[in-house]
Structure 1
Amino acid sequence: MTEDRARLHTAVLVAPSKERRKLRKQRRKAEARLHAEQRRAALAAAKAKAEEERAERRATVYLPKSGEPGAARLRTPGRFHLTRHQDTSATLAGAYPFVAEGGLGADGVFVGQDLYSGGSFVYDPWVLYARGIITAPNVVLAGIVGSGKSSLAKSLYTRSLPFGRRVYVPGDPKGEHTAVANAVGGRAIVLGHGLNTRLNPLDEGHRPSGLSDAQWASTVAARRRDLIGALAETVLARGLSPLEHTAIDIALTQTVWENDVPILPMVVDHILAPSKDADGRLAEDGRLVGHALRRLVAGDLAGLFDGPSTVAFDPSLPMISLDLSRVTENSTLISVLMTCSSAWMESALLDPNGGQRWVIYDEAWRLMSHPALLRRMDAHWRLARHYGIANMLIFHKLTD
């Protein structure tokens, strides 16, 4: 195809029907002359290019394979071979320093020293979010037992305190954040059987400005209904039917209408014995849900969430932790316990003007193992940026 484009073609566009012999010979001679000129031009160009390449080769100097002649020229009859080198990653990290990253900048909380570059590693979710490096301030911290997850989490949130941040631990199953809270001038609320401390997960919490009474009542009712539904699904280990949702909604509405401070035992009583149930069908629809929730107020977790809150949430403290180490039950009840305690604290954290705050979910696999509790946590995390909250999720491995 390239040769066809470089070839010269001639043709007569318009010719008389009866061309004379003399004119035809003249036309053919002109055609042959054009072809000859084109061949001579192509031959001259090829000859010039060949001469140029020969001149370039003559001007280029290459060292001989065996080296330059003369003394002290390191001549060798064989070729140069570079032996393979094998070493550890720690040694190669020094041999290849270009694999070290530049870091995330110097603004924020100092965490430690970078292993490869030797520089300081700084991490601050609010600073990185403001710079557009991350899309959300939430953090996931995973590691096997003994890898230093708790130490890293404590270092990160305690070093954030001088920057004006506050720390909240809505559920501490092992009680390891209690000493830290007391050391920084905060408070650790200990929950357990035989103690006088009670938390009411149905507390209204902080009321944002600009909401009317009707809007605020609707918001609180939706949050309470979502919490009770998630607790019931977790204890029953299944989803709720529409009839059971109706039973919970009617019982919660009746409890709020009759009491200024609704508590879980009141809701359970209205589920098991509705005040407006002429034919008894409503009580039958909510019977399983009522007995499931009864475990929280008269069973395994009695004395923890069955009354008004005996402690108040103080947003001025630098750190508040809910110590759940006194409760040693099965994993499902611990998950329910963490949900109730976190609901009490989260209702008080929904203040957009509360500043930048850490919320630490330790042993989060207990909550993530139940779909209903996971959906509730996901809905809360989606609003973290609006409220200035950075959630930290701590667990052992992703398969949890």
Structure 2
Amino acid sequence: MTHRPARRARRASASPLFTPHGTDRASRKAARRQLAEATAKARAEAASLPDGTEPTAQEMPLALFPPSGRPGPASARGSKLKLPAHRMTTATVAGAYPFLAEGGLGAEGIYIGRDVHAEASFTFDPFALYGRIEGFTNPNILLAGVIGQGKSALAKSLALRSAAFGYRVYVPCDPKGEWTPVAAALGGTSIALGPGLPGKLNPLDAAPRPKSVSEADWASEVRKRRLLLLGSLARTVLGRDLLPMEHTGLDVALDAVVTRAAATGRTPLLGDIAATLNNPDELDTVGGVMSGRLGDASRDLAHAMRRLVHGDLAGMFDAPSTVAFDPGSPMLTIDLSRLGGSGDDTALVLAMTCASAWMESALTDPDGGRRWIVYDEAWRLMSHPGLLQRMQSQWKLSRGLGIANLMVIHRLSDLLTAGDAGSQGRALAEGLLADCSTRIIYRQETDQLHAAAALLGLTSVESDAIAHLNRGRGLWKVAGRSFIVQHHLHSRELSLFDTDARMH
């Protein structure tokens, strides 16, 4: 066994600070002796002083420069100091602080209120901004905010003030009946649907054929829309995707019903579809030999469609429409407040799906002009992929149809309720968010800041801002540009949009 020799401990010394190694030994020795003499002299003087007295401070040397300062151009007096200017664009500065006092989005558009940082008026028009601002790729809008912060008032204000620009407004789902007074104020139309109400809509109504489309092409388009509607209704009730033979069953039933309705000169109804699906022998006969036992394979589908005729939606969508769609009306709302009181939103979603299909006749009109489509309380629709698919289609086609979709939710985390990560519903909900060039965020609770920052890519400054916003004040993210805007309401608007009337 070998032993290593013990190493000598190294001591750190401050001597080189006073006696540099660069001098010879005699000089270092003299410097140490002078330091020792000075230290002994200072101690002797301190010991000779009476108790309680302090040594006399040495007289300070005179100032190097006069009180007026250093003479010459480098004195920095009278702004004479010249330094090179540092220039950068607002896009670069926004990386550190996004709320820059800038010129806003221009004067063209709907008046919203006051830009808090610029102390100027703030106007907004998604149709006017399209193609004029870099990164503004679509007119769709997401509006989120906790209850009582004024997000509904902003949505209604946008709709009401848009009438001055000739824009029309469609609200396919009004679950609380709050848009009916707004429609009345604009001279629009409001249709109330629910058990026992006289209003009825036939979602299988065919839209008027555009002049530029041939009759054969239009018939094919109408058939495709009806199949998409029936498939969406069936998936919502069943809570799953349709099987291949169920798709065939819907296809065969629709063709049979349309043929009989054309022979009698009337429009097909959902009740006719449900009756055909409940007749397995007719399905097998119409389907032919290659369809197999089509009637047996469509039993679940038949029970699902029966709910629209004999279930909780009976009397609303199984009869001819009692109103005609007026594309010239400034506002059209579908009041579904009679269906929004239960804990199950399935009936509300089914009704909204039917109402949306009925409204599509105006959306596809090339001469319909610019229109707003408002999805109020959209958080209730996130768990229904069938309806999300229809909404996604409108989002994707917004530029070609000339429409601006406005989706109103409470929290950004509502989008996460559409399904687990990687699911179809979650992908559809996140796709709707990605297709919104404008995001308006009102105050969010502290526990929602992380989800909001993750979904919207907010900076720390923006995340802190949305946690402390006052009522009526929101963060506007328009094509990557950030604004804090205080919404201003007219006194008549305030009384018209008041959702707290019962609380007062």
Relative to the length of structure 1, the TM-score reads 0.75
Letter aligned with residue 349 of structure 1:
L
Distance change in 2, residues 1:106/1:232 (3 Å): same
Query: Which of the residues 355, 358, 362 maps onto 1:348?
Result: 362
Question: Residue 294 of structure 1: CA displacement?
Answer: 1.0
Distance change in 2, residues 1:98/1:180 (3 Å): closer
The within-5 A match list for 1:237-276 is: 237-259=239-261, 260-274=266-280, 275-276=282-283
Question: Residue 68 of structure 1: CA displacement?
Answer: 5.0
Q: How far apart are the structure 1 equivalents of 2:67 and 2:362?
A: 87
The residue aligned with 2:295 is: 283
Q: Of the two, which has the highest radius of gyration?
A: 1
Q: Is the contact made by 2:369 and 2:402 (CA closer than 8 Å) also made in structure 1?
A: yes
The residue aligned with 1:103 is: 104
Query: Which of the residues 198, 201, 223 maps onto 1:199?
Result: 201
Instruction: Provide structure 2 residue ranges, at least 5 long, that are not aligned to the other structure.
Output: 1-61, 71-96, 415-504
Instruction: Provide structure 1 residue ranges, at least 5 long, that are not aligned to the other structure.
Output: 1-65, 75-95
Question: Residue 296 of structure 1: CA displacement?
Answer: 1.2
Letter aligned with residue 313 of structure 2:
L
Q: How far apart are the structure 1 equivalents of 2:212 and 2:99?
A: 54
Query: Which of the residues 158, 164, 167 maps onto 1:165?
Result: 167
Q: Is the contact made by 1:364 and 1:394 (CA closer than 8 Å) also made in structure 2?
A: yes
Question: Residue 215 of structure 1: CA displacement?
Answer: 0.8
Letter aligned with residue 273 of structure 1:
N
Q: Is the contact made by 1:193 and 1:303 (CA closer than 8 Å) also made in structure 2?
A: yes
The within-5 A match list for 1:295-374 is: 295-327=307-339, 328-329=341-342, 330-374=344-388
Identity of aligned residues (%): 54
The residue aligned with 2:148 is: 146
Question: Residue 229 of structure 1: CA displacement?
Answer: 0.4
Q: How far apart are the structure 2 equivalents of 1:229 and 1:97?
A: 45
Q: How far apart are the structure 2 equivalents of 1:203 and 1:337?
A: 15
Distance change in 2, residues 1:366/1:67 (3 Å): farther
Query: Which of the residues 404, 407, 413 maps onto 1:393?
Result: 407
Q: How far apart are the structure 2 equivalents of 1:162 and 1:251?
A: 46
Question: Residue 398 of structure 1: CA displacement?
Answer: 2.2
Distance change in 2, residues 1:131/1:72 (3 Å): closer
Q: How far apart are the structure 2 equivalents of 1:67 and 1:155?
A: 69
Aligned-pair Cα RMSD in Å: 2.1
Question: Residue 137 of structure 1: CA displacement?
Answer: 1.0
Q: How far apart are the structure 1 equivalents of 2:376 and 2:357?
A: 15
1:165-201 residue CA offsets vs partner (Å, 9 max, x unmatched): 1111111001100000001111111111111110011
Q: Secondary structure at the match of 1:399?
A: helix
Q: Secondary structure at the match of 2:143?
A: strand
Q: How far apart are the structure 2 equivalents of 1:228 and 1:98?
A: 48
Q: How far apart are the structure 2 equivalents of 1:359 and 1:181?
A: 14
Q: Count residues in correspondence.
A: 314
Q: Is the contact made by 1:167 and 1:320 (CA closer than 8 Å) also made in structure 2?
A: yes
Q: How far apart are the structure 1 equivalents of 2:110 and 2:139?
A: 14
Q: Is the contact made by 1:113 and 1:121 (CA closer than 8 Å) also made in structure 2?
A: yes
Question: Residue 132 of structure 1: CA displacement?
Answer: 4.4
